[in-house]
Chains A and B, each alone.
Chain A
Amino acid sequence: MADILDVTQSLIQIVTTICIVVISISIVMLLYRTIKGPTNPDRAVSLDSIGVNLMGIAGLLAILLVTTKFNDVILLIGILLFIGTVALAKFLEKGVIIERDMD
């Protein structure tokens, strides 16, 4: 029984590390897109994707560190990414984020 638990634990660790590495690689590629990105919408989308990857990393790190304290962080990243991307999109579309009252 104890052996199985040990094996499971090391398995989880190995898998998590592999996942972190893979996500990291994707973040680097996205970073390349953000810096290079021919247009600003490219950058916006890549930043959004970086955020999603960060959520993943945060989750994986929580597993690695064996804690539940980062669940808030993951949720918050989700909300902020949404808000941020909407704001960016609106900015790129209309040039302003908050429109003034037209009356």
Chain B
Amino acid sequence: MLTSVLLPFIAALFIPLISKWKEKVHTGIFVTLIPLAVFIYFIQFIGAGFEPVTREYSWIPSMNMNILFHLDGLSLLFLLLISGIGTLVAFYSIYYLHTSEQLGQFYVFFLLFMGSMLGVVLSDNVYVLYTFWEFTSLSSFLLIGFWNHRERSRYGALKSMLITVFGGLSLLGGLIFMQVITGTASIQGMIEQQELILNHEYFPMILTFLLLGAFTKSAQFPFHIWLPDAMEAPTPVSAYLHSATMVKAGLFLIARFSPMLTGSEWFFLFVSGFGIITLCWGSYMAVRQTDLKAILAFSTISQLGMIMAMLGFGTDMAIFAAVFHILNHATFKGSLFMVAGIVDHETGTRDIRNLGGLMTFLPITATLAVIASFSMAGVPLPFLNGFYSKELFFDASIHFNEGAQGAVAIMQSILPYLAVIGSIFTFVYSMYFFFGTFRGESNMDKLPKKPHEAPIGMLVAPAVLVLGVIVIGLFPELINQPFISHAADSIKAGDIDKSISFWHGIKLPLIMSLAVLAFGTILALSRPKWQGVYRILPGKLSLNSFYDGTVKRTETYSTAITNGYMNGSLARYVRLIIGAIIIVTFSIMAITGSFTISNEDLSALTAPEIFIALTMVIAAVGTIITNNRIAAILILGVVGYGLAILFVLYRAPDLALTQLIIETVTVALFLLAFYHMPQLEKKTETKRKKSLNLTIAIGFGALMSMIGISAHSSKAFDSISDYFLKTSHSLGGGDNVVNVILVDMRGLDTVLEITVLGIAAFAIYGLVRLRRHKDEEG
């Protein structure tokens, strides 16, 4: 099982090598074999007696993070969709992509995506799931931006990346919460502890995070905006990622966690609510589009919303209808995308306003399109699978358990109406898609190419999918018993009524279907007359402009904020740093109450000390207020010499010696540098700034004094200096304790100080020499 997931990744490694011969053999031929192999492997699991399989492979055992695979009905449904449609799409892409394209890159991304998608649906460990989840986002980003010379492609790739990664990170948050609460990283293990999570105080956050992850990935309202822009990808990618697989990852996630979450009525409200809004909004917006792929994109959004709504219902019938529709949608939507790709390929345009009357030129394509789009519309014909799932959807929307209260009850009562409204628009755009492209007047002069039927190879993949539509439509029980029912079982255990029959009798769902048919026909025929409504409803309230505005505003604001405090003035940075130190340290001292004064350990003051201290204070203040630069440095010299005398007073001859030398050298260095500097001018700073500087300086001084006093007043331990005094001679062989410490007891520090001096010397030499070389060159 691990091999099947890793196979695409391993194959992706070899694609760059194989793609070198792309002129002779199209790389896609090799790629097609890989999903086919995976498909053949997984199809063996199908059967009435299917039982879930769990496998564990060691990954990071020390953190209890292993690659845990759990193959149940739901995973199997997705695995077969991914590998099966993957095979068809890879085959289709052989004819779609010319060998002059960068095939190597395309198929590497493609295989990466497929492998990670397989991983998402098989994973039972949440962290493994998240890893693969982000892999799908990344590879989708790469695939959308495949034609990276186009501005729109880059825009679409960035948009989808931002939105799906935002959702992915929320998902990670939710997963971490659940792992912390339940103590296990296994999804099945979490489901077993359902009660614990449902009653936990963090449950609202978990639900929000999980739903954000699922809604962004599955393009639910209002995060659906990335999907239409992802249509800049090559058509095989659109067919694969943005109709059949990746956008269903969110549905998969909801389905996977729904055994755990259905206990909460918020789950129903949010998932069904957003799903039904997405259904209506997506189908409503699809009618407005003029690009074939944009119609399909909005159609995908609305169908995903429908499945999401059904997952939210949580009733037996709804769950069954949801998994059934996942399969159905993958078949007809995949084939429709491929049809759109063929039309684009053969006529050179995808703009439906320029297309029309292609039926005579592309008869096979038109046949495929008519079956797929009628299935999408849910036209009540018994050989279309879309009809069954739509009817099951209607059925589910009117059959709820009675006795619900409050918002849930309101929601349950309006759901059927919204479902019908959404389906009417679904019908309208499906008809629009088919009749606008293949019927009506043909206007050849507007087409860039003279249309003719596509090559056989290109037609194979959509034909297989349409065949799937019909087979499922004619023999639903064939798919149902060994396959779909297991998927429904794994979402909701129990006795689900899993039979699909051609004829229910004249019941409410059928009447709803007929109503959709009737109203849909009227609206489709009168479409040009009410097109103006789009200027009112989405009008200027576009979510895209909101997104663009957000991205732009984020950039402007962050630039403004950065420029606001990073103005390049070092004085300001020092003010900020020192100010922060003052505030933080003072607050910590205030909170912990660590300011202590004790005067038991003080020695008596002597007159020389007071005198020298006063001298130094006077000199220091003099340094600040003087405007003469040489005067400033000379007065500073007084401070240095005063310090040396203080060292003398406190019986530190070595320090005094060093201090004297350093002071003199520093003064000399200042004098050296001052010659090259402009005259010190009177600072022309505003009063506010001056007082701010003064405040900060005084504050810092006060802070340091307080810390010094506190540190002296709270001695926790005796000092270790006695040891040095005792052992200086016996261990170090010297009577100068300071020097023995420097070179013997703590010699390492001295070595490093010497190194510092050496580095400084080299640096100065380097700076001076470098400057000179530049002068000479210049």
- Residues on A facing B (Cβ under 8 Å): 17, 20-21, 24, 27-28, 31, 34-35, 37, 40, 43-44, 47, 50-51, 54, 57-58, 61, 65, 67, 69-70, 72-73, 76-77, 80, 83-84, 87-88, 91-92, 95-98
Q: State the 10 A-B residue pairs at the shortest beta-carbon distance, nearest first.
A: A35-B622, A80-B664, A69-B653, A43-B634, A91-B671, A24-B611, A40-B630, A84-B664, A73-B656, A87-B668
The answer on a CB contact under 8 Å between A31 and B648 is: no
Q: Mark B623-658, 1 if CB is under 8 A from A, else 0.
A: 000101011001101100100110011010100110
Q: Is the interface of A mostly helix, strand, loop or mixed?
A: helix
What would 22 A/B residue contacts be, using CB atoms closer than 8 Å? A20-B607, A20-B608, A24-B608, A24-B611, A28-B615, A31-B619, A31-B638, A35-B618, A35-B619, A40-B630, A43-B631, A43-B635, A44-B634, A47-B638, A54-B644, A57-B645, A67-B651, A73-B648, A84-B667, A91-B675, A96-B672, A97-B668
Q: Is the CB of B619 within 8 A of A88?
A: no
B615: which of A27, A58, A87, A96 is its contact (CB, 8 Å)?
A27
The smallest C-beta distance from A52 to any residue of chain B, in angstroms, reads 11
The residue on B at minimum CB distance from A64 is B608
The answer for the CA separation of A87 and B633 in the assembled complex, in Å, is 13
Residues of A within 8 A of B611 (CB): 24
Answer yes or no: B447 CB below 8 A from chain A CBs. Answer: no
A89 to B580, CA, bound (A): 44
Among residues of A, the one whose C-beta sits closest to the C-beta of B649 is: A61
Residue of chain B at shortest CB distance from A51: B641
Asked if A61 meets B608 with Cβ closer than 8 Å, knowing A80-B661, A98-B672, the reply is: yes
| Structural contact, A76 and B657, CB atoms closer than 8 A | yes
Name the B residues within 8 Å of A92 (CB-CB). Answer: 630
Interface Cβ pair total, 8 Å cutoff: 97
> Is B660 on the interface with A (CB-CB < 8 A)?
yes
Chain A residues near B641 (CB-CB < 8 A): 50-51, 54
For the complex, would chain B's binding face be called helix, strand, loop or mixed by DSSP majority? helix
Q: Does A21 contact B649, Cβ atoms closer than 8 Å?
A: no
A67, B619: Cα distance in complex, Å: 29
Interfacial residues, chain B to chain A (CB-CB below 8 A): 607-608, 611, 615, 618-619, 622, 626, 628, 630-631, 634-635, 637-638, 641, 644-645, 648-649, 651, 653, 656-657, 660-661, 664, 667-668, 671-672, 675
Q: Indicate if the CB atoms of A70 and B653 lie closer than 8 Å.
A: yes
For A27, what are the chain B residues with a Cβ–Cβ distance below 8 Å? 615
Query: Do B653 and A40 have beta carbons less than 8 Å apart?
Result: no
| Residue pair A73, B638 in contact (C-beta under 8 Å) | no
Whole-angstrom distance between the alpha carbons of A61 and B618 in the complex?
A: 22
Give every chain A residue within 8 A of B671 (Cβ-Cβ). 87-88, 91, 97
Neighbouring A residues of B607 by C-beta, 8 Å:
17, 20-21
Cβ contacts under 8 Å, A87 to chain B = 667-668, 671
Tell me the complex Cα distance, A83–B667, Å: 11
Residues of A with C-beta under 8 A to B630: 40, 43, 91-92
A69 to B736: give the CA distance in the assembly, Å.
Answer: 11
Task: Chain B residues near A54: list those with CB within 8 A.
Answer: 641, 644-645
Report the bound CA distance from A56 to B638 in whole Å.
Answer: 15
Measured CA separation A83–B618 after assembly (Å):
25
Q: How far is the CB of A34 from chain B (nearest CB, A)?
A: 6
